[in-house]
Amino acid sequence: MTLSLGKKITFYILLIISALLLAGPMLMAIVMSFMTNQDILSGSLPTALTFDNYIAAFEKFPLMKFLLNSFIVSTVIMLGQLILASLAAYAFVFMEFKGRDLLFFIFIGTMMVPFEASVIPNFHIIRDLNWIDTYPGLTVPFFATAFGTFLLRQNFKQIPKELREASLIEGIGDFKFFLTVVLPVAKSSLITLGAYGFLTSWNMYLWPLLATTNDSVRTVQIGLKQLQTQEQLNDWGMIMAGAVTVIIPTLILLFLGQKRLQKGLTEGAIK
Amino acid sequence: MSMTSPIIETNESYLKKVEKVHKQNRIKSLLKGLLFLLPSIILFGVFVFYPLFRTIYLSFFLTDAKGATTVFVGWEHYVNMFTDPIFLKSIKNTFLFVIYTVPVTVIISLFLAVIANEKLKGIGFFRTIFSSTMGVSVAAASVFWLYLFNPTMGLLNEFLQMFELDPIGWLTDPKWALISVAVTTIWMNVGFTFLILLGGLQSIDSSLYESADIEGSSYFYKLRRITIPLLSPTLFFVITVSIINSFQTFGQIDILTQGGPANETNLIVYSIYREAFVNYQFGSASAQAVVLFIIILIMTAIQFKVGERRVHYQ
Amino acid sequence: MSQVELINISKSYDKQKDVLDGINLTIEEGEFFVLVGPSGSGKSTLLRMIAGLEDITGGFLKIGGHTVNHLPPKDRNLSMVFQNYALYPHLTVEQNILFGLKARKVDKQEQQKRLKDAAEMLGLTDLLKRKPRELSGGQRQRVALGRSVVSHAPLCLMDEPLSNLDAKLRANMRVEIRRLQKRLGLTMIYVTHDQVEAMTMGDRIMVLNDGKIQQVGKPITLYNEPENLFVATFIGSPKMNLADAAFSEDGRFLIIENNIKIAVDSALFTNIPRNRKLKIGIRAEHLFPGMTKKENIHNVEVVNVEQLGNETMIAFEVGSELWTAKWTGQWNIQYSQRIPIQILPEYLLFFDAESGKLIQSAQEGKRQEVVSV
C-alpha cells in the first residue's frame, strides 16, 4: 500500500498531535524533575537544569531501598510465574489424564475472581503466616497465574506433538522433555510472559499497601505515595523526580520488548 | 522363532497383566499431570478459592478487629448495604465510572492503533510512545495528574486561565472529581489497549486490503468493511478487560481523592478497602466484596453472551 | 529377532466403532513392508500402535517373538521417522542425531562413532553444526533418517516420510531409503498413501481401507491379482478400467455396459457364475491399438489425449465409465477422433459386482507375471 503525499502528511500530523497529547503528562513530569522549585512555583518555563530534585529524593528518602525492594519483588514474582505457568501449561498440552480439561476450566475460572474481591482473607492469611513485611508475603500470592498458563499453553500447542512422540521412542521422560525441549523452543513466549509479569508486579499498588507496614520491604510504588503525601505542599520537583525514577525501569522494559509484548499478548487474547 | 516361548497370548493372565499395566499407566500419568499442576493448584487454592469462600463466609458475620468472626448476622450486612446511601452511591459511581472510561479508552486506542498501523517512516517511534503509558504505574500516573489537576499551579487550570475561563476544582468539585479520576484512568489504560488493538490490526491479512484497493474502495470503506469486522474479536477482548479493570480501580483514588469529595469517587474497591482496613468492619466489607465479585461475574457472562453473537471470528 | 506379528489387532476410541478391526499380519525380519491406504484408513493408527504411541484395544502385538502390548515405546527397541521429521528446532543436526543416544546413556565414543557413520552414509558430514531451519526439506529428511540409523534399532517405522518433499526429491529419497534399509538389514514398516511409493519400495504391501485389510502381498501380485475392486482401483496408475458386464445367454459373448460385445471362448470362463452381476476390469496397457489387428476390435470416441513422450494415454467412454488406454510410443490422435481398440478377453479380470471380490484374474496377465532374468 502506498499513500499519496497528502495522506502521508495527514497521518503524520495526526500521529504527532496524538503523541504530544499522550506523552504530555510524562514529558511534563520529566521536565519538572529537572526544574528548580522556584521555576515550578512561579509557573515559568525552566530557566536552569538541575539534578537537585533527584539528589533530594534519594537523600531525604529511602528511594534506593524501595527500588531495590521492588526489583526483588518483581523478579521473584516473575520467576515464580514463569515456573508455575510453564509447568501447568506443559501438563495441559503434552499430558493426557483424566480431568485435565476440567482442571483447565477451573484455571481459567480463576480469572473471573478479582483479587480485590478476595483481598480481605488474603490479608488475614499473610498476617497469620507472619508474612507481613516480608518478601514472601509480597510475592507468593501472585505466583499462580491463569493468564500466564493460558498464554504459554497457546504457545506450547504450536510445538508439534511429534516432537514429544519422537522423544518417547527415545525414552525421554516428561520432565526432561519439558526442560530440554519445550522451554528452549518456547523461549520467546517465556520472555514475553516474564516481561509482562515483571511489569505488572512492579506497578502493583493495593497489595504492597496492605502487606507492608514499614520501609523494610516496601515497594517503590508505595514509597512514591509516601513521598507525595509528605511533600505535597511544596516540593513538586522532588515528587516528580521520584515518579520519573519509578517509571524508568518499566519504560525501558517496554521500549525493548514492545513488539514482543504486543505479539505475545495478542496471541493470548485471540486464539 | 515365536514357537520357542510358550503361547502366552491366549493366557488370561497376560490379558490381566496388560490391563494392569494400562491401569498403572493411567494412574501414573494422572499423578504426573497433577505433579506439574500441583504448585499452581495449591496457590490457587490458598490465594483464590479459599479466600473466595472465606469472603462469602465472613459476609454473614460480625468480626473483631483481627478479623475473627464473633456474631452470626445472616443477611444483615446485605440488607444494610442496600439501604446504605453511601454504598449505593459507590455502586452508582462505579457504574458511571465504567461508562466514562471504557468507551473512551477503546475509541482513543482504536484511533491510535489505526493511525499507527500505516507503513510510514518512523512509525515504530510513535507505536512506542502510544504504548508507553502501559509502563507507567498507577502511583506515578496519579502523581502526574495530581499536579495537572492542581487548582493553583496545575497546567489544566492554567490553560483555562489562558482562555479566560474560571478555574475548576478538578478533584475537589463533586461535579468534576469522578471525571478527573476517569481521565487519569483513560490515560493509563490507553497504552495496553492500544498495544492489543495494534496486534489485532496487524494480524489482518493484507491481501484483503490489496484486493479492496484493486476494487477501488475508499479508506473509510475499508475501515468499516474490513478492519472493524475482522478486528471484532480483539475489540471484544479489550472491552471485556477494560470493564473488569475499571471495576477494580483503586490506586488512582487512593492517591488523587481518597474517595472524596462527598464520596463522589468512593468506588467499590476503595469502599471495600476503607470498610475493611480503616474501619475494621471485615464482615460488611466482605459483603461488598461479594457484590463486586458477582458484578464482575455477570459482566463477563454478559460480555461472552453478547460478544459471541456479535463478534465476527475469522 | 525383529519379526513383527500382529494377532487379531483392533482399535477403538471410547468404545465407539472400531477404527481398526481384525488385523492379522506377520512381517519378516529384514523385510520392507508397506502399509498403504487412503487417508482415514487407519494405517497411521496401526503404525502408532506398533510404536506404542497408541494403546492396543484388542489383540496381541509381538516383536521379536515377545508380546509387547504392555511395553512403552522406549522398550520396544525401534526407531521412528515422522512425516514432519520431528526435529528439535533449537538443536543442531549433531545434537538432534545424538539426542536419543544421550538419553539412553550410550558411551561417548560410541556416540561419536555412530554419528560419524550415519553422517557419512547420509551425506550430512558438512551440515552437523547447522540448525534444522537452515536445512532444505531433503536435508531435514536425512537428519530424521540419521536419528533412526544411529539408534541401531532393528525395527524402523516410517509415517509418510516423503509426503512433504517435492516430486523429484521424493523419487531420489525413495531409492535412498530403500538402499539404506537393505544395507542395514532393517525391518521396515512404512506408511504411505501413495501407491507409487508402495509399489516401488515395498517387498510386500498391505492395502488398508476403512480399518480392514484389503490385501497383503507382493507389489506385482497386488497389481495383477487384486483381491477386490478397492485394491484394483487403488493400486496402479492410471487406475484399472472397470465396467459392469454380463454374459449373453448363449455364453458366447460378454456384454460390457450394454455397449461393447466381446466374443469369448466360454472354456476360458467356466469358473464364472453366469447368474450374478459382474464387474470386469482391464489395465490401461492391455487396451491395445487396433489398427493392424482384426479380432475384438471396437471403435471408440476419444475424449482426452495425454502425451507423455514415451507413451500416450487415451481416454474414452464406455457406457457410464471413463476408460483409459496406455499405448507405448507417440500417437497422433485428436480429441473426438474415433479409433479402434482391441479388447482381448484373456486380459479381463472378473469381480463380483456385489461383494467386490475377485472371481478370476486375467489369464494372460498371470502368465507373464514375472520375467525371470
Q: Which residues in chain A are contacts of C73 at CB distance < 8 A?
A: 165, 168-169, 171
The pLDDT assigned to B152 comes to: 79
Interacting residues of C35 by C-beta distance below 8 A, sequence separation 6+: C43, C46, C47, C189, C190, C191, C192, C205, C206, C208
Average pLDDT over residues A113-139: 93
Closest CA to C147 of C82, C51, C50, C74: C82
| Mean pLDDT, all residues of chain C | 90
Q: pLDDT tens across C244-267, in order?
A: 998 888 778 888 888 888 888 777
| Mean pLDDT, all residues of chain B | 86
What's the number of CA atoms in the CB half-sphere (13 Å) around residue A34?
10
Q: pLDDT tens across C209-218, in order?
A: 999 999 999 9
Establish if B293 touches chain C: CB-CB under 8 angstroms: no
Q: Which residues in chain C are contacts of A163 at CB distance < 8 A?
A: 86, 88
Establish if A67 touches chain B: CB-CB under 8 angstroms: no
Establish if A172 touches chain B: CB-CB under 8 angstroms: no
Residue B4 has pLDDT above 60, yes or no: no
Bridging pattern class, strands C253-256 and C66-67: unpaired
Query: Quick one: DSSP state of residue B262?
Result: T
Q: Which residues in chain A are contacts of C75 at CB distance < 8 A?
A: 171
Kindly report the backbone phi and psi dihedral angles of residue C29, in degrees, each rounded to the nearest multiple of 5, phi listed first: -65, 135
Q: pLDDT tens across C15-30, in order?
A: 677 889 889 999 999 9
Closest CA to B310 of B200, B250, B232, B257: B232
Establish if C296 touches chain B: CB-CB under 8 angstroms: no
Kindly report the backbone phi and psi dihedral angles of residue C289, in degrees, each rounded to the nearest multiple of 5, phi listed first: -65, 135
- In whole angstroms, how far apart are CA A128 and each of A122, A125, B47, C289? 10, 5, 13, 97
CATH number of A51-270: 1.10.3720.10
Cα separation, A32 vs A240, whole angstroms:
7
Size of the A and C interface in Cβ pairs below 8 Å? 60
Specify the length of chain B in residues. 314
Three-state SS at C87: coil
Q: What H or E segment, with its residue span, contains residue C247?
A: strand C241-247
Q: Residue C62: which of B2, B17, B22 has the nearest Cβ?
A: B2
Would you call A184 and C90 a contact, using CB atoms and an 8 Å cutoff?
A: yes
Q: Which residues in chain C are contacts of A160 at CB distance < 8 A?
A: 84, 86
Cα separation, C23 vs C16, whole angstroms:
18
Q: What H or E segment, with its residue span, contains residue C215?
A: strand C212-217
> Position of cell 481398526?
C20
Cell digits of residue C147: 536419528
Closest CA to C51 of C164, C170, C151: C151
Establish if A128 touches chain C: CB-CB under 8 angstroms: no
Q: Residue C55: which of B5, B17, B22 has the nearest Cβ?
A: B22
Establish if C70 touches chain B: CB-CB under 8 angstroms: yes
Q: Residue B213: which of A1, A32, A99 has the nearest Cβ?
A: A1
Nearest chain B residue to A94 by CA distance is B33
Closest CA to C70 of C83, C81, C56: C56
Which other chains touch chain C, taking contact as 3+ CB pairs less than 8 Å apart? A, B
* pTM score of the predicted model: 0.87
Q: Which residues in chain A are contacts of B188 at CB distance < 8 A?
A: none
First-last CA distance in chain B:
58
Q: What H or E segment, with its residue span, contains residue C67?
A: strand C66-67
The pLDDT assigned to B270 comes to: 94
Q: Give the minimum alpha-carbon distance from C82 to chain A in angstroms, rounded to a whole number.
A: 7
Q: Output A73 or B151, whichever has higher pLDDT.
A: A73
CATH number of C2-229: 3.40.50.300
| B84-310, CATH topology level | MetI-like fold (1.10.3720)
Bridging pattern class, strands C287-289 and C58-63: unpaired
Q: Which residues in chain B are contacts of A244 at CB distance < 8 A?
A: 140
The strand order across the sheet containing C212-217 reads: C78-81, C155-159, C187-192, C32-36, C204-209, C212-217
Q: Which residues in chain C are contacts of A165 at CB distance < 8 A?
A: 48, 51, 53, 73, 80, 82, 86
Given a contact cutoff of 8 angstroms between Cβ atoms, the answer to whether C314 and C238 are in contact is no
Q: Which of residues 29-88 of A touch C (CB under 8 A)?
A: none
Residue C336 has pLDDT above 80, yes or no: yes
In chain C, list all ranges with CATH 3.40.50.300.
2-229
Establish if A162 touches chain C: CB-CB under 8 angstroms: yes
Q: Give the minimum alpha-carbon distance from C69 to chain B in angstroms, rounded to a whole number.
A: 7
- Helices (DSSP H) in B166-281: which residue ranges? 174-202, 206-214, 219-222, 228-247, 251-256, 268-277
Q: pLDDT tens across B112-150, in order?
A: 999 998 888 889 899 999 999 988 999 999 999 998 998
Would you call C5 and B2 a contact, using CB atoms and an 8 Å cutoff?
A: yes
Would you call A171 and C89 a contact, using CB atoms and an 8 Å cutoff?
A: no
Which other chains touch chain A, taking contact as 3+ CB pairs less than 8 Å apart? B, C
Burial label, C356 (beta-carbon count in 10 A; 0-12, 13-18, 19+): middle
Residue type (1 letter), C347: Y
Output helix, strand, coil percentages for chain A, rounded to the nearest 5: 80, 0, 20
Average pLDDT over residues C35-45: 92
Nearest chain B residue to C6 by CA distance is B9
Establish if A140 touches chain B: CB-CB under 8 angstroms: yes
The pLDDT assigned to C216 comes to: 96
Q: pLDDT tens across C156-192, in order?
A: 999 999 988 888 888 989 999 999 999 999 999 999 9
Would you call B40 and A84 a contact, using CB atoms and an 8 Å cutoff?
A: yes
Q: What is the dihedral of CA A253, A259, A263, A265, to 10 degrees?
A: 30
Cell digits of residue B157: 487550570
> Position of cell 480485590?
A116
Q: Which residues in chain C are contacts of A184 at CB distance < 8 A?
A: 90
Q: Which residues in chain C are contacts of B17 at CB distance < 8 A?
A: 70
Average pLDDT over residues A116-126: 93
Closest CA to C315 of C324, C327, C328: C324
Banded pLDDT at B5 (limits 50, 70, 90) = very low
Nearest chain B residue to C52 by CA distance is B22
Would you call C74 and A168 a contact, using CB atoms and an 8 Å cutoff?
A: yes
Q: Residue C69: which of B4, B5, B18 has the nearest Cβ?
A: B18
Banded pLDDT at B312 (limits 50, 70, 90) = very low
Would you call B289 and A118 a contact, using CB atoms and an 8 Å cutoff?
A: yes
The pLDDT assigned to C317 comes to: 92
Average pLDDT over residues C49-75: 90
- Helices (DSSP H) in C286-335: which residue ranges? none
Residue B197 has pLDDT above 60, yes or no: yes
Closest CA to C87 of C124, C54, C62: C124
Q: Which residues in chain B are contacts of C3 at CB distance < 8 A?
A: 1-2
Banded pLDDT at B313 (limits 50, 70, 90) = very low
Helix axes B228-247, B174-202, angle to 10 degrees: 140
**The CATH number of C242-367 is which of 3.20.20.70, 2.40.50.140, 3.30.420.40, 3.40.30.10?**
2.40.50.140
Residue type (1 letter), B67: G
Helix axes A63-94, A146-156, angle to 10 degrees: 50
The pLDDT assigned to B234 comes to: 83
Q: Residue C65: which of B5, B22, B25 has the nearest Cβ?
A: B5
Cα separation, A102 vs A193, whole angstroms:
24
Establish if B113 touches chain A: CB-CB under 8 angstroms: no
Q: Give the minimum alpha-carbon distance from B304 to chain A in angstroms, rounded to a whole number.
A: 12
Angle (CA) B39 B42 B47, round 5° = 120
Residue type (1 letter), C239: K
Q: Work out the number of other CB atoms within 10 angstroms of the CB of residue B23.
A: 10
Would you call C62 and B14 a contact, using CB atoms and an 8 Å cutoff?
A: no
Q: Give the minimum alpha-carbon distance from C55 to chain A in angstroms, rounded to a whole number.
A: 13
The pLDDT assigned to A177 comes to: 94
Establish if A22 touches chain B: CB-CB under 8 angstroms: yes
Establish if C52 touches chain A: CB-CB under 8 angstroms: yes
Nearest chain A residue to C81 by CA distance is A166
Q: Which residues in chain A are contacts of B196 at CB distance < 8 A?
A: 262, 265-266, 269
Q: Residue C70: which of B1, B5, B21 has the nearest Cβ?
A: B21
Average pLDDT over residues A179-208: 92
